Structures are given as C-alpha cells and as structure tokens.
Chains A and B, each alone.
Chain A
Amino acid sequence: MVKNRQSKLTYLLIVILALLTLSPVVMLVIGSFSKGLNTFGDFTLAKYISVYTDPSFYAVLGNTLIFVLFSALFSTILALFLAYLNNRTNIPGKFMFKVISVVPMMIPHVLFAVSWALLLNPSNGILNLLLMNIFRLENAPFNIYSIRGMIMVEGLLDLPIAYLIIAPAMASFDISLEESSRVFGAGNMKTLFRITLPVLRPAILAAFILCVVRCLASFAVPSVLGMPGRTYVLATYIYRTVTTGFIADYGKAAAVGMSILILSISLIYVYRYMTRSSEKYVTVSSRGFKPVVIELKKARIPLFVILLIFSFILIMLPILVLLYTSFVPYSMVPSVKAFTSMNLDHWKNVLNDPVSLSSLKNSLFLCIVGASLGTLLSIFISYVIVKVKNKASGILESLSFLSFSFPGIVIGIGFMWFFVRTPLYATIWALLIGYIATYLPYGIRPMTSAFIQIHSHLEESSTVCGASFLTTIRRIVIPLLIPGIVSGWILMATMFFRELSLSVVLSRPGTETMAVQILKFSNDGLWGRLSALGIIMIGISVLLVITANLVGNHFKPETN
C-alpha cells in the first residue's frame, strides 16, 4: 500500500503534467494534419509531404545537427571545466563562478547575439577592427555570421544550464572514490578521466542533452547571426515557413517542428537508457563533508587569468555593449563623437512608457508566482522520478520535456490553440501555466540531482518518528533540497522573466511582459530603448537571484 499511494501520486502528477504539456502538442499534431489554417480541418498529409520532400530541408537538417551538437558540446565542456575549477581546486575568486553561471541567463538572447554581431561582424566589428589594426591585417579575422560564430554564441548562452547541472554533482561527489584511485597509482589527470568524469556521467549527459534540446529550439542566435550569413537551421527554417506570405501556415510549421520533437524525445530516451544503471552509483553520504581541494600550484594564476578573461567576454562585454547602446542616440561604432553625443533619452523614454512599466509588473508577477508554483510542481515530480522509479515515473520525465523541446514560435501557437478553448484565454494565468509547462525541465533537473543526494534513511527515519508524508517533505526533504530548490527557482524565474515565444502569442493589453516589449523595440529597430530595458531586466534578475540565495541560506542556518 506504500506502493499504492506512491502510484496514486504518480498518476495524479501524470494527469497534471499531461494536461500541461500534451495539450498544446496535441493541438499542433492535429494542426499539422489538417487542411486550413487552424486545428480541426479536414485530414491531409499535404503539409508533411511539402516539408519532407523539399531538398533544402535536408541541407537545413545537416546544418542543424552541426550547430546543435557542437554548441551543446561547447557548453558542456566549458561547464565541466568551470565546475571543476570551482569545486575541486584552490583557484582564487570563486565568487565569480556564481556570477558566470547565472548572468547569461538574464541577458535576452537577442541582445546577446546583437552585441556579438557588434563585436565581431566582418565589416566593422569592434574586436575585428582592433585586431586588424594591431596585426595589420587586410581582412577581418573573425566572421560572426557563420556556423562557427553561431556555435560559440549559442554555446555561451547555454553554459548556465550545463553549469547549474554539473556543478552540484561535482560538489557532492564522494571524495573517497577519487582518493582510492590515487592510492592505486593513478595521477590527478588519470583519476579525472577514469573516475571523476565516468562517475559524473549522469550529470554530464543530462547537461549535454538539455543543451541539445535547448539549441534545437533556439531562435535568437540562428536568426541574428545565421540569417545574414545565409546559414539556416530548423528553427529559422520554421520561421521562414511561417513568415513567407501574409497568412502563416502554422500547421506546416508544426510539421517541421515534429522532427525536432522526435529528435528531442529520442535524445531523452537515449539519455535515460545510458543512465539507467549509473544513477544508482551516485554515492553521497548523509554526513556533510568537504571535498579535498587540488593544489593548482603554478597553474593557479594562469587559470585565474583565463577565468577572468572568460568572465569578461561572457558577461562584461555584452553588458558593456548594452550600456553603451543605451546611451548613444543611435547605433555607432565607439568614437569620440559617440561618447560626446551620449545622453539619457532612451532611458527617459523607457521609464516614461506606461506599457513598459506595466510589463515590468506583469513579468515580475509571472516570474515570482510562476517560478514558485513551477518549483513546487518540480519537487513532487522529481520525487517520483528519483524515489519511486517505476515505468510511470519514466513517462513523467518524458512528459516534462515535451513542450520544452518544441521550438518557441510553434509551441506558442499550440498553446494559443489550446487556451482559446478554455476560460483562461487572454488572462495572465494562461501565460503562467504556459510558462510552467514549457520550462518545467529547468525546475526538475536540479531538483532530481538534489533528490538523488538524499539518503532514503533520512526520510524513513522521519516517518518512523511519526511525521506524516507532508511533514517529512516540509521538515526534512525541503530543507535538504534547498540548494536544488534555489537553483531550480532561479533558473525558472530568470527564464520566465525574459520569456518571449509564448508571451508574444498570448499576451494582451494589460498582460504584456517585458520580453514582448523588448521584441516590439527590436521590431522597430530601436536598439537604444531595447538596451535600456534590457539592462533594467538584468538588474532586476540580479536582485531576484540575490534574494533567492538569501532566502535559501535563511532556511539552512544550522549547517553553516
């Protein structure tokens, strides 16, 4: 009967989750098989035939694979490197890691891509001009409008996802596994490759797969950096499908989206297959311990410098470009003229715009309430995934990825087709539910890693002490989960704060969000106002993250 109540919870969660994630997808599937512009037309295969017989589709598919795999690889390797340096070595300036790991999530992706175009475009990219002057080059050394440029920028953008999954696993790693390796004659490097990385495989794979899924759906980078260089990936191909012509055929877009969906789902299954036994051997004791720190010796300072440069590129550069853009009257290359003509017009404009201000309020509401509800749901789902571990929990995990793995422009329409049949349509609750459904994996992943670390005896002893299930969750599980909850909440909140693809379809007067406002500025080419609002967004996100960390620390005073 323990089983019984666990499976009741599992089925309840499956129902909730299926409602959340399956509904838009079902709408899209129907739409892709229907004649006409909406769902529920006559059945037709025409949309699939026209998409999948187009020879250019397969070239796009090739590009997509390269873009996605290398971006995800880049993010994962970088994240591993950073997580290792932070958790396992005596590198100075560790506070920077926390910053590196969250800030890129707060920068709207469009802005991030645009600032890189400003830095590295082949005509007058600031860095390119600098390098050409220094080395007396004829041509610009870098072209950001290329698949390599796209990979780099997307890789940097997805780094936080990978880092936030790998770092906690690295931190809670049982040091005796490494020590025994060293005892048996393996050096630091050998231990790293033979013991540390293989044991961390579940986390590394999780990070990689999540990055792949995210890249598949990514639109900002391929559109800002891929289109000028005429490199198309599936997301921009879909965009082309829906924008050619005045009447967008979202059913056809959904037909293209299906291949992304199938790709994503199979990846998730591959991931589950590869980690099915390995999650068992993640051994973490219930007693707190500090992993042994590796002395970097001579490499300490050079690595620190690399880290410094890296944070500069990753965080300071785009923010500086944003700041600069928000002060100059129009897009200009930095020059004496540019600096003398700086003013606060864009800032005044944004701060006096009532829609921008109300969008700020809405976004804050969505991000705080949404992330909190999303985190709550993630706690229950992760509990089932980790602790119940039956077939149904596998279904649950796959479901949670469903809407996440669809490209934003398409899933937004799916949600619209769904919500228009509910009383929630055109309310802020539609946005809230849509956000939670789409970004649930961001909440679930950190939470499952945290759950894996809690020895089942800790809960069982609470039950034996007469605590009900809910008391156990409240007094034992949640406090122990705090690090996971905080990072899950931060991930969701920052995502929600700059969420665009759903908001642009579902927001209405009174429920505008900041990202929609940003998109409006971007449609009008108003980069200055865009940057000003972007900086406000980043500022608020930073405050949110700091608050979340403080609240998190408040709940675990006894260990510190």
Chain B
Amino acid sequence: MEIHIRGLKKYYYSEGRTIKALDDVNLTIPANKIFTLLGPSGCGKTTLLRSIVGLETPDEGEIKIGDTVVWSSEKNIYVPTEKRGLGMVFQTYAIWPHMNVFNNVAYPLQNQGMPKAEIEERVRETLRFVQLEGFEKRPATKLSGGQQQRVALARALVAQPKVILFDEPLSNLDAKLREETRKELRSFLTELEITAVYVTHDRIEALALSDTIGVMRSGKIVEIGAPKKIYFNAEHQFVADFIGRSNLIPAKVKQQKDSFTVVQTSLGEFVCKERDYPLDSDLTLCIRPEFIDLAEEGALDQKNTLSGVMETMVFVGDVYESEIRVGDVLFMAKVDPETTLEVGDPVTFSVKPEHCLLVSE
C-alpha cells in the first residue's frame, strides 16, 4: 500500500520559540518496499512516523494510506490509531512486562476478535517466522534484548498489516547483534508483501536496509532516493555529508564541457560529474575518502590531480584512515593497508571526474 503525505505541518512552541517538527512535508512512500526516514535527532522523522500511525496529530495537511485518508485537516478526518490497522516496532520494544510472549503477540489478534484456535495457530506461525518457537510461555521480563526485539516484530507482523512502522528498533542492541538483526529484518520484510517505514539516524542501517531513503532535516524531506543514489549522487551538501564522510570544498561553476562540469576551487580547477547548474553558481565539491586514488609521483596524467603531504595515518584494519594536507585543505583519504607510505611523505593523488560530486547548499 502506498502512503501519500501532503503538506504536513506540525509546530511546537517552547519557551517562546517555534520549533517546526514538520515543515510542509510532501512524500509518497512506495508500496511493498522498505522506506527509511533518515536524519539527525530532532529532524522530525519520528514525528512524521508517529503522525502516520496516528499517535501524533499534525497541525495541517493530509495523510493517505492506500486509498484511505486517515488524517486530513481540511476534511476534518481523523482515523484513530487503533483503526488504522498498522504494525509498529517501538524503540523501547514496549513489550508488556505483565504478559508472556504468547499474549504479547496474540494481542492484536485478540483485539480483532479472532477465534482462539486461529489466534494460537497464527501466533505460533509468526513466532516460528521470527525464530522464537517454543517461547510462548516465557514471561516478557525474562527475554534478552534481541528476543524482545523479535517479539516486538512478531507482534507487529502477526495481524498481517499492509504497513509496518519501525522507530529506531535496533538502537538498543549491541553492534554485532545489530548487524545480524539488520540482515534478518531485510530478508523478513522482502519476503512479505508489506510496506515498511523505518526511522533511523544510523546511515549504515539506512543504506543496508532500505529500498528507498528519505533524508530529513529540520522538518523537511531534503532528498529521496535509492541508497546508491543517495550515497553516490546526492544533490545536497547536507545529504552527501550525512550519508558518508566526505571532503567538502567550495566551488564555482566555470563551464559545461563534454558532459562534465568544470569548477574552480581554491585548489584549482576540477572536472566533475555533470550537473545542470548555470555558470558562476556557488556549489560545494564533495569527494568521498575512498575515491582518492594515490599514485607514484608523476605517474598521473589525469585531470583532478593534487599533491600534498601525508599528515596523519590511522590503521583501522581494512584501511588506513589518513589525512593529506594540500595547501589549506586537509583531505580525508582511505589508503591501502599495505602501503609503504609514512607520515610526512609527499603524496600525489587524483580523483576521477565521476567521483567528483557537485552539491548545492
């Protein structure tokens, strides 16, 4: 089911200031895909999620799930949360401590008034699906973090909703478990015909999990796209910077040539991936550390070649995370761990034009 959001606004007033949690959000969440709302804390992503599920009421706008308008300020429509038929996994899991696993999972079905036998069948099935077979009688308080997370997922899935929402569900797990669960979650969700809306501030989680990512900032959706598009082809400096580490250099458009865009920076001219901006536009050149190609001195004939001095090198296993000084600018670069370079050595490097991304403010 698609979710359509039109002109959604939600303002908070606190100590005389207005905080725009949702600032005219327009968005279509594609059906049966995993859609992630990514952004720093306070960007409004949770407010948006809670508005979709109905736990929060926006000030203005419209929310449509499938063909049903669930909220509209204009038409004065409000479908209560419990009538929206959604599933949700909370950040705290919100596993009811006074119930056992079975009752926690059976709860949504009991609310539908499903016959007992059928409930049992469905709960067992769902628990098997999240690999918690045999946990039915376990009190909720006797579960580990990962198990609680699965119970929460089972509870969200058991009624076979068309839409499931996730509010940072992995943030309470440790790193290793988080990675495993992420993978599992993706395979669970792709197996089902379900629209998933996922809120996170973790860019790796977003990249690994999503079909589509919507990046939010200050109550606005800044950019929407597939993970690769967001990562390699962001249009905004904020998105490019948020989704991965990048070297950012102010740049001015000089000319469009051979399906490249040439810009002027303080380090000279750069030939970049084509972007349709008028001449003299002030943009930012964005180069990811992994796209900096080191070469022996003089061996590079290409464009976008720079020379500098190795300033720091930190060994992190698969690479050296290093910084190269070129004039006033420090370039972050990922260097082959088997390199013979040392701190203080002169370095020449180049960046392929297709890796020079021009982004706007």
Contacts and interface: CB of A to CB of B under 8 A. Distances in A.
Contact of A466 (B94, B103, B111, B148): B111
B170 to A, nearest CB: 16
A467 to B, nearest CB: 5
A184 to B, nearest CB: 24
A455 B92 contact: yes
B96 A468 contact: no
A467 B82 contact: yes
A476 B95 CA distance: 10
Given A556-B98, A558-B98, A464 B92 contact: no
User: Which of A285, A457, A475, A482 has its CB near the most chain B CB atoms (within 10 A)?
Assistant: A457
Contact of B141 (A3, A465, A466, A559): A559
A466 B159 contact: yes
A480 B94 contact: no
Nearest to A288: B141
B53 interface: yes
Interface residues of A, number: 29
B57 A3 contact: yes
B213 interface: no
A560 to B, nearest CB: 9
Contacts of B80: 463, 468
Nearest to A457: B94
Nearest to B142: A288
Contacts of B94: 286, 455, 457-458, 460-461
B42 interface: no
A365 B358 CA distance: 80
Given A3-B57, A463-B55, A559-B141, A288 B155 contact: no
A465 B98 contact: no
A189 interface: no
Contacts of A287: 95, 97, 141, 148
Contacts of A288: 97, 141
B145 to A, nearest CB: 9
Nearest to B56: A2
A398 to B, nearest CB: 24
Nearest to B92: A457
Interface in B15-71: 53-57
Nearest to A285: B92
Interface in A164-210: none
Interface string A490-528: 000000000000000000000000000000000000000
B71 to A, nearest CB: 8
24 contacts: A1-B78, A2-B56, A2-B78, A287-B97, A288-B141, A455-B94, A457-B92, A460-B90, A461-B90, A462-B107, A464-B81, A464-B87, A464-B88, A465-B82, A465-B111, A466-B83, A466-B108, A466-B112, A471-B82, A556-B98, A558-B100, A558-B103, A559-B97, A559-B141
Interface of A: 1-3, 285-288, 455, 457-458, 460-469, 471, 475-476, 479-480, 482, 556, 558-559
